[in-house]
Amino acid sequence: MLQKPRGTRDFLPEEMEQRREIEMRMRSVAQNWGYREICTPTFETQELYTIRSGEGIINEMYVFEDKGGRKLALRPEGTAAVLRMYVNEAKVLSKPVRWCYLSDCYRYERPQKGRYRQFWQFGAEQIGADTPAGEAEIILLAYEILKATGVRFTFHIGHLAPMKHLLSDLSDVHRKDIMALLDKKNFDGLQKYLEEINAESLFASLKSLLECRTIDEALKICGDMPDKERMCELIKILDSQNIEYRLNLGIVRGLDYYTGMVFEGFADNLGAENQIIGGGSYRLAHLFGGEDVASCGFGIGFDRVMVSIGEFNPQKPPLVSVVYTPDVSDFSFSIAKIFREAGITTELNLLERGIGAQMKHAAKTADYAVVIGKREAKSGKITLKDMKSGEQKELSADSAISVIRGVK
């Protein structure tokens, strides 16, 4: 028996129905905020990802050469492609551009619960605002979308400015190394590294920065610093909207394109892979041949949200099973058409079994059976059976449709 590739999943109809319900809730909140849905290709040129992150990223991606020798990659995330598309197609649009997407993404990772090689992200990108209001909007939108799904989560909001300020005397390489250690919360490694580069005095201030729970505490450590007003304005807007979050100035984010505001969200009931959202402010358009435009956005780990919510029964429209004898198949097909045109989900029995066997099948799968035999075909009426109550009535197709609509 052939198996699916490692790190991928099959979704049966019950699971797809739950996923579609949650997708629908996410889309409708995004739409309500003016974020319009877009779609980019599943694969892009490798360069789109290496241009910012370097060749190292290739190890973490699904990469291949096509028959024309072009180096391509399955997208590992949504943002780079969205900004490429913006540069290609939409530079002339009035700013800010507000877009959202639901994309399958591919990463060559070691699969475990909540970590897959194919997974889905619901993302939003806001291009060209470059204001604290724009950043606040993205955070508030993310918060509302997650709330609409019913997932229980904790939000951490941070800003790179204080950390960058503390590390401003160091070289780019040292700064990057330190931020990578902080990202991994490897404090022993950090202390060792700081000793090696003769900057051990920074350890205490970095640790206190990570413990700050208010922006005032952070300003006491950092003093005057670039982006101070902008950061304070962002926090002021967020606080005015009463969202629950924790200030976390230790958020560094693995993707190295963030420039200022950064945020992450964690599901309350998941284990190691509990991060369900990551986002922040960044600049990418100039790398793809566009003008340097400030953007911000987020990616929600759709699959992790689904794991966190757990199974549920989405509201389903009633299902009708048409049970008929082969001699009245034409009439039965026509009745099924009338029901479908009325918006009712209708299945015909296809196995040419006796009425009894068909009714047994209908009892397992359908809310109503529409029974059609010679007598019904002659009178033009049908017999409608409610599979839950067992009640049955001979009715015209129109009256049967009203009964079905009235009940559910």
Where is the binding site for L-histidine, in residues? 77-79, 107, 121, 125, 253, 257-258
Does 303 participate in binding ligand HAM (rule CB under 6 A)? yes
Q: Which tokens in the block code for residue 267? A: 């599901």
Label residue 51 exposed, middle or buried (CB < 10 Å: 0-12, 13-18, 19+): middle
Smallest distance from the beta carbon of 168 to ligand HAM, in angstroms?
24
Q: Which residue is nearest to ligand HAM (CB)?
A: 301
Does 128 participate in binding ligand HAM (rule CB under 6 A)? no
Smallest distance from the beta carbon of 52 to ligand HAM, in angstroms?
11
Residue in the block written with tokens 């610093």 = 225
Q: Which of 40, 75, 85, 125 touches ligand HAM (CB under 6 A)?
A: 125
Site size toward ligand HAM, by CB under 6 A = 25
3-state secondary structure the chain: CCCCCCCCCCCCHHHHHHHHHHHHHHHHHHHHCCCEECCCCCEEECHHHHHHHCHHHHHHCCEEECCCCCEEEECCCCHHHHHHHHHHHHCCCCCCEEEEEEEEEECCCCCECCECCEEEEEEEEEECCCCHHHHHHHHHHHHHHHHHHCCCEEEEEEECHHHHHHCCCCCHHHHHHHHHHHHCCCHHHHHHHHHHCCCCCHHHHHHHHHHCCCHHHHHHHHCCCCCHHHHHHHHHHHHHCCCCCEECCCCCCCCCCEEEEEEEEEECCCCCCCEEEEEEEEECHHHHCCCCCEEEEEEEEHHHHHHHHCCCCCCCCCEEEEEECHHHHHHHHHHHHHHHHCCCEEEECCCCCCHHHHHHHHHHHCCEEEEECHHHHHHCCEEEEECCCCCEEEECHHHHHHHHHHHC
Smallest distance from the beta carbon of 122 to ligand HAM, in angstroms?
9
Peptide bond into 314 cis (omega under 30): no
Smallest distance from the beta carbon of 90 to ligand HAM, in angstroms?
16
Does 77 participate in binding ligand HAM (rule CB under 6 A)? yes
Candidates 58-66, 241-249, 276-284, 320-328: pick the segment binding ligand HAM (CB under 6 A). 276-284
Does 274 participate in binding ligand HAM (rule CB under 6 A)? no
Candidates 53-61, 129-137, 189-197, 300-308: pick the segment binding ligand HAM (CB under 6 A). 300-308
Does 299 participate in binding ligand HAM (rule CB under 6 A)? yes
Question: What is the CB neighbour count within 10 angstroms for residue 134?
Answer: 21
Does 182 participate in binding ligand HAM (rule CB under 6 A)? no
In the bound state with ligand HAM, the residue whose beta carbon lies nearer, of 193 and 282, is 282
In the bound state with ligand HAM, the residue whose beta carbon lies nearer, of 80 and 212, is 80
Q: Which tokens in the block code for residue 401? A: 């449709």
In the bound state with ligand HAM, the residue whose beta carbon lies nearer, of 78 and 250, is 78
Annotated binding site, which residues? Answer: 77-79, 107, 121, 125, 253, 257-258
Smallest distance from the beta carbon of 269 to ligand HAM, in angstroms?
14
Ranges within 246-265 binding ligand HAM (CB under 6 A): 255
Q: Which of 18, 75, 78, 179 touches ligand HAM (CB under 6 A)?
A: 78
Candidates 204-212, 294-302, 347-355, 370-378: pick the segment binding ligand HAM (CB under 6 A). 294-302
Q: Which of 156, 304, 381, 385 touches ligand HAM (CB under 6 A)?
A: 304
Identity of the residue numbered 385: K
Q: Which of 276, 344, 369, 382 touches ligand HAM (CB under 6 A)?
A: 276
Spatial contact of 110 and 100, defined as CB atoms under 8 Å apart? no
Smallest distance from the beta carbon of 126 to ligand HAM, in angstroms?
9
Smallest distance from the beta carbon of 392 to ligand HAM, in angstroms?
49
Site string for ligand HAM, 93-122 (x = CB under 6 A): --------------x-x-----xx--x-x-
Ranges within 25-44 binding ligand HAM (CB under 6 A): none
Spatial contact of 135 and 297, defined as CB atoms under 8 Å apart? no
Spatial contact of 276 and 265, defined as CB atoms under 8 Å apart? yes
Q: Which of 18, 40, 79, 332 touches ligand HAM (CB under 6 A)?
A: 79
Sites of contact with ligand HAM (CB under 6 A): 77-79, 107, 109, 115-116, 119, 121, 123, 125, 255, 275-280, 282, 297-299, 301, 303-304
